[in-house]
Amino acid sequence: MKIGFLITARLKSSRLPLKILKDLNGKPVVNQIIDRAKAIQGISTIVLCTSPNPQDKPLIDIAKQNNIAYFLGDENDVLQRLYDAATCYNLDYFLGITADNPLFSIHYSNVIVDIITKQGHDFIKVEGLPLGAATYGMKYDAIKTVCSIKTVVNTEIWGYLINRPELFDIVTLKAEGGERDPDLRLTLDYEEDYRVLSHLYSNIPFETTLDLADAIEYLHHHPEIKAINQHCTQRDLDEGIKKTIDRHYQKHFTEIKNIKENIYKNARRKQN
């Protein structure tokens, strides 16, 4: 079984320009993410999934410098880019994160890999972690199914398309212990987010990767740092688009289910 780790990354951000190239303790944000990905056990390949747009070329250079793979895919259809990258690197499953989350949980990423190895499932997600700390696991056949039936083209926010328990085998892990704190914001969209992350990376000792639990504990003891970005809001999928997706799944459910069953059947046939 081949399990990859896919990092989606572009340099088009308008709210915080070139945010994933900003420095965190001597390294660009995206490099810190790559270091964390390298700490996950059982990963066959790490792929930086970007686009052929010339503005994204620095990301190709970073992938080469860090000895990881890269893939140039659709600029706007993130889900299609992930599917094409998984196809290109012949993955059976993959874990994923966007490049603006430099404190994702290595621990729960390892848990996801373990579940994939022992149990499979179509989609594995984690609830209860700080915003920006959760990776996910997805079966290749599941993303192939979604890309075969979706009508939405701009899929920067795509979770609503796959989080369909009526169609897919979904496992939801509940975060606990020192990494659980759903009220914290540890993603990078605004200047205030960068101030928080930069402070954590500069003030908490670590060797290769900053421990998420240590960052959470630090913020609990320094509420003034935690407060810096608490007013920042996270974008969600437009309610109108959600309703359109719901109607599509409901109206064409039998057809969609048949498409999924054929994709899974053909995959099993190839394995045998």
pLDDT tens readout for residues 232-260: 999 889 999 999 999 999 999 999 999 99
Q: Token pair for residue 144?
A: 């192939």
Average pLDDT, stretch 73-95?
Answer: 97
| Cα radius of gyration (the chain) | 18
Q: Encode pLDDT of 37-67 as tens digits.
A: 999 999 999 999 999 999 999 999 999 999 9
Q: Token pair for residue 145?
A: 């199914």
Query: Sign (positive/negative) of CA torsion 110, 111, 113, 117?
Result: positive
Q: Encode pLDDT of 129-187 as tens digits.
A: 999 999 999 999 999 999 999 998 888 899 999 999 999 999 999 999 999 999 999 99
pLDDT at 23: 98
The domain locations on the chain are 3-271
pLDDT at 119: 94
What distance in Å separates the CA atoms of residue 240 and residue 244, rounded to the nearest whole number? 6
Q: Is the pLDDT score of 29 beyond 80?
A: yes
pLDDT at 101: 98
Q: Which CATH number fits domain 3-271: 3.90.79.10, 3.40.50.300, 3.90.550.10, 1.10.760.10?
A: 3.90.550.10
pLDDT at 272: 77
| Per-residue buried b or exposed e for 225-256, using 16+ beta carbons within 10 Å of the residue's own CB | ebebbeebeeeebeeeeeeebeebbeeeeeeb
What distance in Å separates the CA atoms of residue 222 and residue 40, rounded to the nearest whole number? 29
Mean pLDDT across the chain = 96
Count other Cβ atoms within 10 Å, centred on residue 260. 20
Please give the model's pTM, rounded to 2 decimal places. 0.96
Phi, psi of 47 (to 5 degrees): -125, 125
- Residue at 256: amino acid letter: I
pLDDT at 102: 98
pLDDT at 65: 98
Q: What is the 3-state secondary structure (H, E, C) of 85-140?
A: HHHHCCCCEEEEEECCCCCCCHHHHHHHHHHHHHCCCCEEEEECCCECCCCEEEEH
| 3-state SS assignment for residue 240 | helix
